[in-house]
Amino acid sequence: SPPVPNSRPEAVSLLKSLEILAQYFAYRAADTFLAWGSMFSLASLVSALAIAVASLVWRRARPDRPIRPRVLARALFPMRMLRSASSRADVGLFLFNTFPAGALLLWIIVSASQIGEMVHSALVSEFGAHPAPALSPALARGLASGLLFVAYEFAYWLDHYLSHRVPILWEFHKVHHTAEVLTPLTAFRVHPIDSLVFANITALVTGAVGGVVSYALGPAAAPFSVSGANVILVAFGFLTIHLQHSHVWISFTGAAGRILLSPAHHQIHHSADPAHFNRNLGSCLSVFD
């Protein structure tokens, strides 16, 4: 459009900056809440709420005592949680880590794709080109999805282990453990440096494994994904991850509890009892613990 007559250059520049800023906030909001692969999508939050309702109904149901909606609502959203200063702080940290801090991290983390390309090129240089195995495309992609999911889980566990064991890293990670009540927003109660360390460790581990997978299975063996996220991780986002930061007790016992990290596992991880410190460091799997 033609410039506005007699307009001041600095005013036009300010309007352009505000337009870019508004576009960025709109993009981040849509990417966070509407993308199916987002770990905080509205769809995954609704799924977690439905599971929480089903769990409470299952535990409290009696033939002679119907569950009243008001009682169920109080059980899901107790006043101590709604009125807590900790919950209000989680809202502020969610906004900070989703918008301004999220923009800063985009520029300074290691790229998993770059690491993967480096590893793949190094393997080709050292051992020569590797013919793709005689697998169906679906099986190859399924293997890639599983291997990269396990790689992500190990990276998460390794970062979490180091955050609890290395004193300088604990100084940043302990921000997350100041929560006095747990809500899904508590996942955003993190120091930006903590997020940066996690992003770099995850990129290094998943990138290295991705390079090996690409070399062994062929570059066409891309993992199944939803909005760019591994479909297995997205499934856990719909089923368990949000409930880990909640007061709804859902535990996996026996063999399931030795493989899968239940919401109760992570609630114990946030316990104030010293007997529970430094336990249950995984995200979706408990095998590395």
CA 273, 175, 269, 250 dihedral sign is positive
Contact by Cβ (8 Å): 127, 214: no
Q: Please give the model's pTM, rounded to 2 decimal places.
A: 0.90
Contact by Cβ (8 Å): 38, 227: yes
Q: Would you write out the chain's pLDDT as a tens digit for each of its 289 residues? A: 445 455 566 666 878 778 888 888 898 899 999 999 999 999 999 999 999 999 999 988 777 777 888 989 999 999 999 999 999 999 999 999 988 876 666 556 778 999 999 999 999 999 998 887 888 999 999 999 999 999 999 999 999 999 999 999 999 999 999 999 999 999 999 999 999 999 999 999 999 999 999 999 988 889 999 999 999 999 999 999 999 999 999 999 999 999 999 999 999 999 999 999 999 999 999 999 9
Distance between CA atoms of residues 134 and 130, nearest Å: 12
Could you read off the pLDDT of 178-191 as tens digits, one per residue?
A: 999 999 999 999 99
Could you read off the pLDDT of 201-239 as tens digits, one per residue?
A: 999 999 999 999 999 998 888 999 999 999 999 999 999
Q: What element of type H or E holds 225?
A: strand 225-226
| Alpha-carbon distances of 44 from 74, 102, 141, 184, 224, rounded to whole Å | 22, 20, 24, 11, 18
Contact by Cβ (8 Å): 84, 181: yes
**DSSP code, position 185:** G
Burial class for 218, CB neighbours closer than 10 Å (0-12, 13-18, 19+): middle
